[in-house]
Amino acid sequence: MTSVAIITGIGGQDGRYLAELLLQKGYRVHGIIRPGGASAKSIAEQIELPNSAATLDSNSPRLQIHAIDLLDQRQLRTLIEQTQPTEYYHLAAMSCVPKSWEDPIGCAEANSLTTAHALEIIRLIDPSIRFCQAGSSEMFGRPITSPQSELTPFRPRNPYASSKVMSHHLTCNYREQYRLFACNTILFNHESPRRSLDFVSRKITSAVAKIKLGIQTELRMGNLEAERDWGFAGDYVEAMWLSLQQDKPDDFVIGTGIARKVADMVQFAFACAGLDPEKHVVIDPAFLRPEHGCKLVADPSKANRTLNWKPKIAFQDMLKMMVAADIQRTEQQTAHPNKKSQDRFAA
């Protein structure tokens, strides 16, 4: 029997890597995107079959893209009834912290109510569907202990983190109250060439590419001493999949367990392009943010032990990949300024 998965937010970094992983494993994948956003055709064209130059289209029986409003219970229920998934990965979210302050209500709806709708529909239609909620290290906020494990108290400090905490607890509630196979994966920072420019990693690697090609001369940064736990997105989606292959549902912290400074990321990204960061990096007070409490770094020992999961791509290799992709992307955009890039860079 072929496994069938629904992936919300399939157009994002994690959604695309997860779709490729599941397709490689023989799944049929139904991806959900926002109405009015990118077309189903453009999203399908960005998803590649691993170890193959072939791509799928939006009409493939193995991959189908659906533009639906996740807050519309009728639309979501109809899709679940028609596709009969065995697994449901909830990745769709408003994921940019500054934007969550600009629209906290929209953030709560996108990140929390969509989780409630999905869990309730699964409970009513088919409680055997396995559910994975993608959480965030932002939920720990300003932690009082480090590293952070599944037992570390949440202390959210922004609307995005608060909405993710609600989704986490809803997932636990439905697991305990209705015996759903519902898992939380608490994902620490994970990057790739597909990362949005809203995030510091792509801000750095994109600037490195433009400096290398003579398009700009400086990178303006804030606190280079801030520390985070950075891993590769392709590794982290494998942890999501593994969480749904276990005998019992549970919650898992996913990270490398290694804290690195923003300065380390800057230094290595510039080195990848043969550049000296001291000649180009400018500290801008406008980007400075205070660091509070203990540093955010994962304790992934439970995932290591229970899921037999460990990250495969090293921090340095991830940055090499990102810088190379941004240089290629920038070259293409410079050569064809009126042609929109397909952004199909992958590991």
What value does the mean pLDDT take over residues 79-83? 98
Is residue 64 in some structural domain?
yes
What pLDDT does 255 receive? 98
- What does pLDDT average to over the chain? 92
Is residue 272 in some structural domain?
no
What is the total count of domains within the chain?
Answer: 1
How sure is the predictor about 347, in pLDDT bands with cuts at 50, 70 and 90?
Answer: very low
Least confident of 238-247, 283-292, 293-302: 283-292
Is residue 321 in some structural domain?
no
Q: Find all residues with CB under 8 Å of 177, minimum gap 6, and list them.
A: none
Catalytic residue among 95, 136, 137, 201: 136
Structure tokens at 280: 């180009």
What pLDDT does 188 receive? 98
What pLDDT does 327 receive? 98
Maximum alpha-carbon separation in the chain: 60
User: Which residues partner with 65 through β-bridges?
Assistant: 31
Q: What is the pLDDT of residues 155-190, one digit of tens each?
A: 999 999 999 999 999 999 999 999 999 999 999 999
What pLDDT does 337 receive? 74
What pLDDT does 1 receive? 79
List the CATH number of the domain containing 69.
3.40.50.720
What pLDDT does 310 receive? 97
Catalytic residue among 27, 88, 89, 160: 160
Q: What is the pLDDT of residues 208-255, one digit of tens each?
A: 999 999 999 999 999 999 999 999 999 999 999 999 999 999 999 999
Is residue 276 in some structural domain?
no
What value does the mean pLDDT take over residues 308-335? 96
Is residue 85 in some structural domain?
yes
Give me the numbers of helices (H) and strands (E) for the chain, helices first please: 12, 13
Is residue 146 in some structural domain?
yes
Residue 160 annotated among the catalytic residues of the structure: yes
Which residue, among 253, 243, 259, has the nearest Cα to 300 in the 3D structure?
253
Is residue 301 in some structural domain?
yes
User: Pairing mode, if any, of strands 87-90 and 4-8?
Assistant: parallel
Is residue 131 in some structural domain?
yes
Q: Which domain holds residue 245?
A: 4-195+230-258+295-313
Residue 27 annotated among the catalytic residues of the structure: no
Q: What is the pTM for the complete model shown?
A: 0.92
Q: Measuring CA to CA, how many Å separate 155 from each of 19, 74, 111, 269?
A: 32, 34, 17, 32
Residue 163 annotated among the catalytic residues of the structure: no
Give, for 4, the enclosing helix (H) or strand (E): strand 4-8
pLDDT at 59 over 70: no
Burial of 83 (0-12, 13-18, 19+ CB in 10 A): middle
Residue 197 to residue 193: CA distance in whole angstroms? 10
Catalytic residue among 87, 138, 227, 238: 138
